[in-house]
């Protein structure tokens, strides 16, 4: 298992370097220069050029990339053009809100999606199965921000039971979490239903029924356990996607998370903050995928054996 994890960690290094280069190259194509952004529109062209030279803006992109990597290895990801503070002093205070939103969203989506998927598979082709299929298609099709606006209109403006925006107690998180969780639960329920249908007809399930095992034990110990591999993948990818994909929902509900920081960096062309935030979210995505691989190996030791065997050839 340790070798398996180390191999996955080593794969992350070139992947991360490639991601940084691609994002770094794209950001270098932004029309404004850092000197103009920092000094403002009233600065003279000579002052802007002097500031750009000070920042190394006119150096070739490969030179700037290598310099950025060297500084990043020392923990220096640059300084925000707008605030003049190190970028991670700007980003890190906002991350707990985004992490909390993503965690509770994927938790609700997983519980609801898996339970509905099990029920749909056990009641296959019934009225309940058809109803859950229709609901899953509806929530999978509706945009998260539009669902959030509908919830805001109903629960805040009409009923007045939930706050429409801001961060405070748990009530502020209800609608953002549901806005992200319900569409994700729809996908998870469909995958759970599909994989459960594949395991229901297996011989070991028939044997368990013949031995008189209780229905709950058959579902959770035999059917669901062997159907979890695709579900784990979907849950992991959902969590990783929500870390970076909750930008619009955070802005709809006025949550002080990564969403506000990223959109503000785009609007103000604060490229150090934008670059660092994308790198950070990409790194978090790879960590989540690593966790999914580890769960894979725990659920099915054959995954580790095949990977190590393939790496040794």
β-bridge partners, 86: 79
Span 77-98, pLDDT tens digits: 888 888 888 888 888 888 888 8
Query: What is the distance between the terminal CA atoms of the chain, rounded to a whole angstrom?
Result: 18
The pTM assigned to this predicted structure is: 0.77
Report which of 284, 167, 200, 172 is spatially closest to residue 237, judged by C-alpha positions.
284
Alpha carbon of 280 to those of 45, 88, 251, 258: distances in Å? Answer: 34, 10, 20, 11
May I ask the CATH architecture of the domain 98-301?
A: Orthogonal Bundle (1.10)
Whole-number pLDDT of residue 245: 67
Whole-number pLDDT of residue 107: 92
> What's 221's DSSP letter?
I
Cβ atoms within 10 A of the Cβ of 65, count? 17
Task: Please state the domain extents for the chain.
Answer: 2-92, 98-301
pLDDT at 188 over 50: yes
Contact status, residue 102 vs residue 95, Cβ threshold 8 Å:
no
**Where is average pLDDT lowest: 90-94, 139-143, 309-313?**
309-313
297 Cβ partners below 8 Å, 6+ apart?
1, 4, 303, 304
Structure tokens at 127: 């009225």
User: How many Å apart are CA 68 and CA 57, to the nearest integer?
Assistant: 12
Polymer length of the chain: 313
Which CB contacts under 8 angstroms, 24+ apart, belong to 19-25?
A: 19/279, 19/282, 20/65, 20/68, 20/69, 20/72, 20/279, 21/65, 23/275, 23/278, 23/279, 23/282, 24/61, 24/64, 24/65, 24/68, 24/275, 25/61, 25/65
Whole-number pLDDT of residue 108: 93
pLDDT tier for residue 144 given thresholds of 50, 70 and 90: confident
Which CB contacts under 8 angstroms, 24+ apart, belong to 86-93?
A: 87/272, 87/273, 87/276, 87/277, 88/276, 90/261, 90/273, 91/258, 91/261, 91/273, 91/276, 91/277, 91/280
* Pairwise pLDDT comparison (297 vs 309), residue with the higher score: 297
User: How many Å apart are CA 7 and CA 1, to the nearest integer?
Assistant: 10
Please state the separation of Cα 230 from the chain's center in Å: 17
151 Cβ partners below 8 Å, 6+ apart?
162, 175, 178, 179
pLDDT at 250 over 50: yes
User: How many Å apart are CA 271 and CA 223, to the nearest integer?
Assistant: 49
User: How many Å apart are CA 117 and CA 219, to the nearest integer?
Assistant: 12
């Amino acid at each position: 298992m340790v070798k398996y994890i180390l191999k996955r960690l080593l794969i992350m290094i070139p992947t991360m370097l490639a991601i940084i280069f691609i994002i770094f190259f794209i950001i270098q194509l932004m029309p404004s220069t850092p000197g103009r952004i920092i000094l403002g529109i009233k600065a003279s062209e000579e002052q802007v050029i002097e500031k750009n030279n000070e920042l190394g803006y006119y150096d070739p992109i490969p030179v700037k990339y290598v310099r950025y990597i060297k500084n990043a290895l020392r923990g220096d990801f640059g300084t925000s053009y707008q605030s003049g503070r190190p970028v991670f002093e700007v980003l890190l205070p906002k991350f707990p809100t985004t992490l909390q939103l993503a965690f509770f969203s994927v938790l609700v989506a997983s519980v609801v999606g898996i339970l509905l998927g099990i029920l749909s598979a056990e009641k296959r082709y019934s009225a309940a199965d058809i109803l859950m299929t229709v609901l899953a298609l509806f929530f999978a099709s509706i945009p998260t921000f539009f669902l959030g606006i509908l919830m805001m209109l109903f629960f805040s403006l009409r009923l007045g039971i939930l706050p429409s925006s801001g961060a405070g107690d748990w009530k502020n998180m209800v609608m953002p979490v549901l806005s992200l969780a319900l569409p994700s639960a729809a996908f998870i329920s469909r995958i759970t239903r599909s994989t459960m249908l594949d395991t229901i007809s297996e011989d070991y399930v028939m044997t368990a029924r013949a031995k008189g095992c209780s229905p709950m034990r058959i579902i959770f110990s035999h059917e669901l356990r062997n159907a979890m591999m695709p579900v784990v993948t979907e849950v992991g990818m959902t969590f990783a996607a929500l870390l970076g994909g909750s930008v619009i929902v955070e802005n709809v509900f006025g949550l002080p998370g990564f969403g506000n920081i990223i959109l503000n960096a785009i609007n103000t062309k604060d490229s150090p903050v934008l670059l660092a935030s994308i790198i950070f979210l990409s790194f978090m995505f790879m960590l989540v995928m690593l966790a999914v691989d580890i769960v894979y190996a725990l659920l099915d030791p054959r995954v580790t054996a095949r990977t190590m065997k393939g790496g040794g050839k």
